[in-house]
């Protein structure tokens, strides 16, 4: 089984989806407490039903969904097969997917990850999250294959976990912070793309003044900015202004708990997604 290739560039398709449905990416995070709250078993069958329910409920109502691969992979091969079926449902429904896999390695191993998540594999969504902390150049296999197949890549840049700053804020010999190097490298990949490029960044909505303090120009990235922290994690309109500034037009807010805790009824999930999208739109335009 293969995924088939998307029609057109990821950045353009995402821009159309955001225009139609708002700047919200709904997570698909079937962790044990949420499965229990939905009355589902914590096994491959449970995570599959969870994911497929979310896709069926939200297709045509949100810009995209973001399955967290770890919650499927913890159930072994059957869990991975469940993720494949969730992604297949989304493709059939025309719903964009970002596979939150956060892969990162070097050489032939990164080639393998690229083929799995950006090639013609059934695990490939419309985009994948990756880690650049073996050097941005180590991402070349996934960047090149994603470009060839019409997919996108979201590169971790500034994450909201406290431990992240020790690496991301560190400066190299040229005085630039690691996160700034990541952002400027992504910008080079996106140069000249319209309405924006296919290489996005993951920037937490709760990182405060870090973008400004590190001298990062997010607007120059010219790619989507996937922003966890909106909704249940408490990012406010003022937080979004402080973190993203003029780059708010590029923000794709990631929200999981705000939407998923409304399930499992499809109507309730759609209503929660609509409220979240409206709140994000208002916060970004404030």
Residue located via tokens 């990235």: 221
Shortest CA distance to 262 belongs to which of 276, 250, 248? 276
| Residue 271: burial class (beta carbons within 10 Å; 0-12, 13-18, 19+) | middle
Residue located via tokens 């913890």: 74
Give the active site residue among 31, 102, 249, 261: 102
Helix (H, G, I), strand (E, B) or coil at 169: coil
Given a contact cutoff of 8 angstroms between Cβ atoms, the answer to whether 57 and 269 are in contact is yes
Given a contact cutoff of 8 angstroms between Cβ atoms, the answer to whether 50 and 30 are in contact is yes
Cis peptide, bond prior to residue 195, ω within 30 of zero: yes
Given a contact cutoff of 8 angstroms between Cβ atoms, the answer to whether 219 and 210 are in contact is no
66 has catalytic annotation: no
Given a contact cutoff of 8 angstroms between Cβ atoms, the answer to whether 129 and 117 are in contact is no
Rounded to whole angstroms, the Cα distance separating 286 from 284 reads 6
Q: What is residue 230's DSSP assignment?
A: B
- What Rg value do the Cα atoms of the chain yield, rounded? 18
Shortest CA distance to 98 belongs to which of 275, 225, 268, 184? 225
Catalytic site positions: 102
């Amino acid at each position: 089984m293969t995924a088939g290739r998307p029609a057109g560039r990821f950045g353009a398709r995402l821009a159309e989806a955001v225009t139609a449905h708002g700047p919200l990416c709904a997570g698909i995070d079937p962790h044990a407490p949420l499965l229990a709250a939905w009355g589902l078993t914590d096994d491959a069958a449970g995570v599959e039903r969870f994911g497929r329910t979310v896709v069926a409920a939200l297709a045509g109502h949100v810009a995209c969904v973001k399955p967290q691969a770890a919650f499927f992979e913890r159930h072994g091969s059957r869990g991975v097969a469940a993720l494949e079926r969730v992604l297949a449902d989304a493709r059939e429904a025309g719903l964009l997917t970002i596979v939150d896999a956060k892969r990162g390695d070097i050489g032939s191993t990164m080639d393998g990850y690229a083929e799995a998540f950006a090639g013609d594999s059934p695990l490939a969504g419309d985009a994948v999250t990756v880690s650049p902390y073996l050097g941005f150049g180590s991402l070349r296999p996934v960047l090149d294959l994603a470009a060839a197949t019409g997919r996108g890549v979201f590169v971790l840049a500034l994450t909201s976990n406290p431990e992240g700053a020790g690496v991301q804020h560190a400066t190299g010999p040229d005085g630039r912070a690691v996160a700034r190097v990541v952002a400027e490298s992504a910008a080079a990949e996106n140069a000249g793309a319209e309405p924006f490029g296919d290489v996005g960044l993951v920037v937490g909505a709760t990182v405060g003044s870090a973008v400004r303090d590190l001298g990062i120009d997010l607007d120059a990235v010219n790619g989507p900015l996937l922003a966890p922290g909106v909704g249940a994690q408490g990012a406010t309109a003022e937080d979004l202004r402080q973190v993203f500034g003029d780059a708010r037009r590029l923000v794709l807010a990631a929200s999981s708990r705000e939407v998923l805790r409304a399930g499992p009824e499809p109507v309730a999930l759609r209503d929660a997604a609509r409220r979240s999208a409206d709140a994000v739109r208002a916060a970004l335009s404030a």
